[in-house]
Amino acid sequence: MPPKLLDDCFLHDHERLRHDEALDRLKSRIVPLTATEQVALAGAAGRVLAEEIRAPRPVPAFDNSAVDGYAFAHADYLAAKGRLKLSGRVAAGHPGARPVVKGTAVRVFTGAVMPKGADTVAMQEDVTVEDRFAIIPEGLKQGANRRKAGEDLNAGAVLLRPGRRLRPQDIAAIASTGKAEIACYKRLKVAIVSTGDEIVRPGAPIESGQVYDSNVFLLRALIEATGAEVTDLGVLADRRDVVEAALAEAARGHDAIVTSGGASRGEEDHVVKAVEAMGRLHMWQLAIKPGRPMGFGQIGECLFFALPGNPVAVMVCFLLYVRPVLLRRCGADWPEPRRYLLPAAFSMNKKPDRREFLRGMIVEDDAGHRSLDKYPRDGSGLISSLRAADGLIEIAEEVTSVAPGDPVAFIPFESFGCY
């Protein structure tokens, strides 16, 4: 057999690494960094929790009224057929010292400590007051409109475990336990690099054959949305020495480097060769579309992602592979994007052996039935397709055609924490 040519055109998709296999490798091999720091709750949204949070006391800490109204013992209410003399007043933050006098009702407000002896509250809208008596309608159940101590959290309950990426509601729950600071994993430092002799930064004049750098902005925003800090190392010329020097420098001060462009096997593509020479290339060339030339490796302890140059491939590869790795490396649980099956509103033919990610739009007919359309044009340079899309359509390796009505998997951009 003649030796195999090392050229893209001769490497078939079935010889490339499959999407699932690439993810499995990343999932099993990426270990989180362990450095932590104390973070004030006000700055904790999107950070990754590094400690277990338990409730030191029940939340709420005391039985309290859920409404503005009148509190009483349910047995007294039954005995007096709903007509109870008023005997006191308790507002939120001002617990009354005295128990409710037997056979009477106490004026209470939302959040007020339930007076001792009272177990039920009637809403003020339902009560009429006559001659210092509350006239309460029939049918109130014992415990109505009363919030029990511990009904949100029991003392000692585990609220959150390490690895949780904190959402606003998580932070609210931590605040409800009284903690003002929490241990979080340190933010990752990520360097981004654009490559290509044709790439020019916006703001500069452009000459024939040049292209404005879109990827740096796409990547910065996507990486910052994972909670990492971004350093922009500028645009590198298509020269091996330039690329190597910049990557060596970046690897020393960062936890990860993400490059765009120059990841293929062309003569002007130096990124992957540079990483092979300076560190280790763990995977390269995936059986996917778009984004096939994506590479992953490391230089020292610095993770390395070589993304293709086309903006659509950059976004797709970032969301599928880079984002989960950055989050995991920062201590978070591996994020699994949620997929939804929707009927296709399109038809297509597809090569087997590779997984395709199309830009998908949810469409709704007059009856409110939803289906999934694909952006009509294919090119991986079309930023318009990313803007038009609501998310990614995922077509599995073995599928060779899709007909209208076929169920297809859809991953909304929101599933990746972006929109």
Residues that bind Mg ion (CB under 5 A): 196, 261-262, 309
Report what 311 binds from ligand AMP, Mg ion, none; CB cut-off 5-8 Å by kind.
ligand AMP
Q: Is 260 in the site for ligand AMP (CB under 6 A)?
A: yes
Q: Does 104 bind ligand AMP (CB under 6 A)?
A: no
Q: What are phi and psi of 74, to 5 degrees?
A: -60, -35
Return the closest-CA partner of residue 373 out of 352, 349, 351, 390. Answer: 390
Name the binder of 397 from ligand AMP, Mg ion, none, CB < 5-8 A by kind: none
Query: Among residues 64, 65, 215, 371, which is the contact residue for ligand AMP, using CB under 6 A?
Result: 215
Q: Which range, of 35-43, 44-52, 148-156, 302-310, touches ligand AMP by CB under 6 A?
A: 302-310
**How many angstroms separate the CA atoms of 75 and 119, rounded?**
9
Between 295 and 337, whose beta carbon lies closer to ligand AMP? 295
* Sole window of 41-49, 62-70, 207-215, 221-229 interacting with ligand AMP (rule: CB under 6 A): 207-215
Query: What residues contact residue 232 under an 8 Å CB cut-off, 6+ apart?
Result: 191, 192, 216, 220
Residue 296 CB, nearest approach to ligand AMP (Å): 16
Nearer to ligand AMP among residue 120 and residue 214 (C-beta): 214
Task: Answer for the pair 123, 67: CB distance below 8 angstroms, yes or no.
Answer: yes
Q: Determine which residue in the list 120, 145, 226, 310 makes contact with ligand AMP, applying CB under 6 A.
A: 310
CB of 211 to ligand AMP, least distance (A): 5
Q: Which stretch binds ligand AMP (CB under 6 A): 15-23, 62-70, 109-117, 261-269?
A: 261-269
Asked if 229 is part of the footprint of ligand AMP (rule: CB under 6 A), the reply reads: no
Helix 240-253 and helix 271-278, axial crossing angle in degrees, nearest 10:
60
Give 199 or 303: the residue with its C-beta nearer to Mg ion.
199
Instruction: Copy the structure tokens of residue 347.
Output: 């038809």
Q: Which residue has the tokens 């924490």?
A: 417
Q: Does 259 contact ligand AMP by CB under 6 A?
A: no
The DSSP secondary-structure symbol of 98 reads S
Measure the CA–CA gap between 177 and 179, rounded to whole angstroms: 6
Query: Which lies closer to ligand AMP via its Cβ, residue 42 or residue 206?
Result: 206
Q: Does 199 bind ligand AMP (CB under 6 A)?
A: yes
Q: For residues 159 and 192, which CB has a smaller minimum distance to ligand AMP in the complex? A: 192
Question: Which C-beta is closer to ligand AMP: that of 64 or that of 215?
Answer: 215
362 near ligand AMP, judged by CB under 6 A: no
Q: How far is the CB of 274 from Mg ion (least distance, A)?
A: 13
For residue 381, the minimal CB distance to Mg ion (Å) is: 12
Burial category of 5 from C-beta neighbours within 10 Å (exposed 0-12, middle 13-18, buried 19 and up)? exposed
3-state secondary structure of 84: strand
Kindly report each contact of residues 269-277 with a partner whose C-beta sits within 8 Å and lies 24 or more positions away, as own/partner.
269/238, 270/195, 270/238, 270/239, 270/240, 270/243, 270/244, 271/195, 271/243, 271/247, 271/295, 271/306, 272/306, 273/240, 274/240, 274/243, 274/244, 274/247, 275/247, 275/299, 275/304, 275/306, 277/244
Nearer to ligand AMP among residue 371 and residue 385 (C-beta): 385
Residue nearest ligand AMP, CB atom distance: 309
Question: How many angstroms separate the most distant Cα atoms in the chain?
Answer: 106
Under the rule (CB under 6 A), what is the footprint of ligand AMP? 194, 196, 198-199, 211, 213-216, 260-264, 308-311
